[in-house]
Chain A
Amino acid sequence: MLNLIKYEFIRKYRLISIVLITALALNLLIMTRGPEGSVLFLTLSPFVLYILYFVDIIKMYSDDLNKKTGYMLFMTPSSGYRIISSKLIAAVIEGFGLLLIYFLFFALNGVYILVSLDETVDFSSIISNINKIFSGSLGYGFNIFHLFMLLLTILILIIAFITTIYTAITIRKSLFSEAKFGGLFSFIIFLLINWIVSTLSNGFYNFLSKVSPYYNSLDNIAGAGRFTPETLMMIFIPIIGFSIIQATALSWISGYLLEKKINL
């Protein structure tokens, strides 16, 4: 498994390097326009990175199933489950890596903006705020645990989304390997899976509201925009639970199809 993940990154490190060097060059260029340039860069770059990230992970998987270079991977004595797991883990690591890089850009531009506005950078205040976050309180009753749950929910939603895309591509290449217009066909399967998942999730939340009256009031709370730490957790936990089941089931289906039905 480690070797599979390792080669995922070896295959794409040139592309990632080019993207990062280009981003850095753009950032430096745009900084010459003053702090407004930095603000513009920090606003637009997450969207660009987000799009590039999804294009990259989808293209890598699609290429492995649709191009002859996929033989390199599929001739190895690795099970379908191991292959799909390694792809998912590599995608998550890449996502974290890009997030970290965005934070570095954020810090770089933040310091530049403060300096160019003649503000002094108060490092002791930054450190004290970080300390405050890790020591517990974020204000309004929220603490570091809630922040962690928010990040966990986002992470699991992204994993569930990626597994949905991978499953659509795998179904197309296994059960419908002879079908024409592969990309379009994969997209239709993707929409179909999403429809099934949303039907199941609606059923799941309806079930929750029947067994726990608390959930009936959640819609009202969410509508009013008055979240408390408790209501937020009541929203996060079912989302996390359902998304884990979704990601596990779809990964298993993909692994099974890669193992038993694939035609490269």
Chain B
Amino acid sequence: MNKLSILKINNLTKKYYNKTALENVTLDFEPGRIYGLLGPNGSGKTTFMKVVAGLHKQTSGSVLINNEDLSYKTKAYVSFMPTENYLYDSFKVVDILKFYNDMYDDFRYDYAVNLINAVNVSTSYKITNLSSGQTGKLKTVLALSRDADIYMLDEPLNGVDVLARDTILDIITKSHNENKIMIISTHLVSEIEKILDTVIFLSEGVVELFGDAEELRQERQLSVEGLYKEVFKNA
């Protein structure tokens, strides 16, 4: 039996003046699965996430989260980690944790502090002094320390060294459970394919392929990375 979809995208289109970033994207997301949003740079992955997170407004189509249209209220259900460094650089790590704690009812402060300590980032560090690996770990911890229904991580492995990548993947898998939707965008497919349940291939704003990762592997006799290369060989 199918689980109830908590994120439904219907004919989502996002246009800029001279470019269509997303075109008629229709997707249903089920809780308990980790989705890989895969595609080369400029394929629409970030735009998709920013629309769902309420940072961009769609041109047409609908996005329903827990059966509610997108609004400031649906931001309470979505924990989004942008790929950019969006943290206030005058803050220390502890100030950022307090900010999240004050702004989000579902933020688990102690859980976040434990995770921060586990990944060797001190809460007394200033944001400006963090390396890209430490920033990546901090952003991941912040997003996953909320008890949200939907987690969206935009390129969580970008600019992060190999050891930090393993730590981040470990945090992601440990944070996931059957009630949550996890959407991870990346073009580093080989690093992340082992944790994906479902893959969505986006090309120039259009869904090229959507399906269960294991079924696709068996059906096509290719790894997800192999499929990626096949789908995007001309991109």
Interface residues of A (CB under 8 A from B): 3, 6-7, 10-11, 14, 68-72, 74-80, 178, 259-264
Please indicate the chain A residues that have their CB under 8 angstroms from the CB of B73 in the complex. 77
B16: A residues at CB distance < 8 A? 178
In the assembly, what is the distance between CA of A14 and CA of B92, in Å?
Answer: 13
Contact of A76 with B88 in the complex, beta carbons under 8 Å: no
Partner of A69, one of B86, B102, B103: B86
Could you say which of A74, A75, A78, A264 has the most chain B C-beta atoms within 10 Å of its C-beta?
A: A75
- Chain A residues positioned under 8 Å from B57 (CB to CB): 260-263
Contact with A along B148-161 (1 / 0, CB 8 A): 00000000000000
The B76-106 residues at the A interface (CB cut-off 8 A) are 76, 80, 82, 84-91, 95, 99, 102-104
A-B contact pairs, 22 of them (CB 8 A): A3-B103, A6-B102, A7-B99, A68-B85, A68-B86, A69-B86, A69-B88, A71-B82, A71-B84, A72-B87, A72-B88, A72-B99, A75-B53, A75-B55, A76-B104, A77-B72, A77-B75, A79-B72, A80-B72, A259-B72, A260-B57, A263-B55
Given A68-B82, A77-B104, 6 more pairs with CB closer than 8 A: A7-B99, A68-B85, A75-B55, A75-B75, A79-B72, A178-B16
Task: Choose among A11, A69, A262 the residue with the greatest number of B CB atoms under 10 Å from its CB.
Answer: A69
In the complex with contacts A3-B102, A78-B72, A11-B55 CB distance below 8 A: no
B95:A10 contact, CB within 8 angstroms: yes
* Contacts between the two chains (Cβ within 8 Å), count: 61
List residues of chain A with CB within 8 A of the CB of B54. Answer: 74-75
For the complex, is B8 an interface residue (Cβ under 8 Å from A)? no
Contacts of A10 in B (CB 8 A): 95
**Closest partner residue, chain B, to A79 (CB atom):** B72
Question: Could you tell me the distance in whole angstroms from the C-beta of B20 to the nearest C-beta in chain A?
Answer: 13
Considering the chains assembled together, what is the distance between the CA atoms of A140 and B65 in angstroms?
65
Q: Pick the 9 closest A-B CB pairs, nearest first.
A: A71-B86, A77-B76, A77-B75, A68-B84, A76-B103, A3-B102, A68-B86, A79-B72, A178-B17
Contact A11 B90 (CB under 8 A): yes
**B180 contacts the other chain (CB 8 A):** no
B187 within 8 Å of A by Cβ? Answer: no
Docked complex Cα distance between A79 and B76 (Å)? 11
In the complex, A71 Cα to B73 Cα: how many Å?
16
CB B152 to nearest CB in A, in angstroms, measures 11
B55 touches A74 (CB 8 A): yes
Smallest CB-CB separation from B143: which chain A residue?
A: A75
Chain A residue at minimum C-beta to C-beta distance from B19 = A178
Interface string of B53-81 (1 = CB under 8 A from A): 11111000000000000011101100010
Q: Is the CB of B86 within 8 A of A72?
A: yes
When distances are taken between beta carbons in the complex, the residues of chain B under 8 Å from A77 are 72-73, 75-76, 103-104
Closest A residue by C-beta to B105: A77
Q: B89 to chain A: which residues have CB within 8 Å?
A: 69
- Shortest Cβ distance from residue B81 to the other chain A in the assembled complex, whole angstroms: 10
In the bound assembly, the distance between CA atoms of A102 and B212 in angstroms comes to 66
Cβ-closest chain B residue relative to A4: B103
* Chain A: minimal CB distance from B14 (Å): 9
Give chain B residues whose Cβ lies under 8 Å from the Cβ of A261: 57
Contact B55 A71 (CB under 8 A): yes
- State A7–B53 Cα separation when bound (angstroms): 21
- Once bound together, how far apart are the Cα atoms of A82 and B99, in whole Å? 17
> Which chain B residues lie closer than 8 Å to A69 at the CB level?
86-89
Complex: A202 Cα to B82 Cα, angstroms: 47
- Complex-state Cα separation, A131 to B89, whole angstroms: 48
- Determine the residue in chain A with the shortest Cβ distance to B70: A260
Do the beta carbons of B90 and A76 come within 8 Å of each other?
Answer: no
Contacts of A260 in B (CB 8 A): 57
Known: A72-B99, A76-B103. A264 touches B55 (CB 8 A): yes
From 9 to 45 in chain B, residues with beta carbon under 8 angstroms from any chain A beta carbon are: 16-17
B176 interface residue per 8 A CB criterion:
no
